[in-house]
Each structure stands twice: as C-alpha cells, then as structure tokens.
C-alpha cells in the first residue's frame, strides 16, 4: 500500500466520523425539545402512535447500523433518540 493511499483512507474515515457526528447531533438535538415537551406535559393527543412506533423502529435500525459499522456518533445519538421515542410511545399508550 502506498503511503498516499493510507493517508487518504485515514482522511476519509475522519471526515465520515465528523459528518456523522454533526448529523447525529443535529437530528437528535432537533427531536429533544418536542420529546421533552410531550414528557413534561403528558399531552399526547396530537401525535400518532403509528408514526412513533414506525419512527422508533427506524431509529432502532439506525442504532444497529451504527453498531455494525462501529460508528459511535450514530450509536449514541440513536440510543438517545430511541429512549425518548419509547418514552413517548409509552406515554401515548398510557395517556391516550
């Protein structure tokens, strides 16, 4: 392997980590205020159970994907989002 190829690979992997960390942080941060509002006020009338179950399933799969590719930003952000989403699903089931 040429030294240039190794350096390019390291740079590409570093850029992937930075982009995934930024994307994961922004998407999780965007979800948190709404999740906290629902959790604080226990008002779930305006949300769809089907949508939140589908969303939780997708987030769980993103978490698994993060594990498979060993990408910690994807794993951490999706673990946080999944916990918040499951709390909302639980509240929707409890409070209607």
Domains of the chain: 3-95 (1.20.1280.290)
Query: Quick count: other Cβ atoms within 10 Å of Cβ 12?
Result: 10
Report residue 56 as tokens: 């939780």
pLDDT at 10: 85
**CA–CA distance, 62 with 19 (Å, rounded to integer):** 15
Identify the H or E element spanning 54: helix 49-68
Q: Which residues of the chain have pLDDT under 50?
A: none
Report residue 57 as tokens: 């399933």
pLDDT at 3: 60
Which pTM value belongs to this model?
A: 0.81
CA 6 to chain centre: 31
């Amino acid at each position: 392997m040429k030294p240039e190829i190794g350096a390019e690979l390291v740079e590409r992997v570093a850029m992937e980590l930075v982009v995934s960390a930024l994307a994961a942080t922004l998407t999780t941060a965007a979800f948190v205020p709404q999740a906290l509002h629902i959790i604080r006020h226990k008002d779930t009338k305006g949300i769809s159970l089907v949508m939140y179950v589908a969303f939780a399933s997708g987030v769980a799969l993103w978490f698994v994907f993060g594990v498979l590719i060993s990408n910690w930003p994807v794993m951490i952000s999706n673990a946080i989002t999944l916990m918040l989403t499951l709390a909302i699903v639980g509240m929707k089931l409890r409070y209607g």
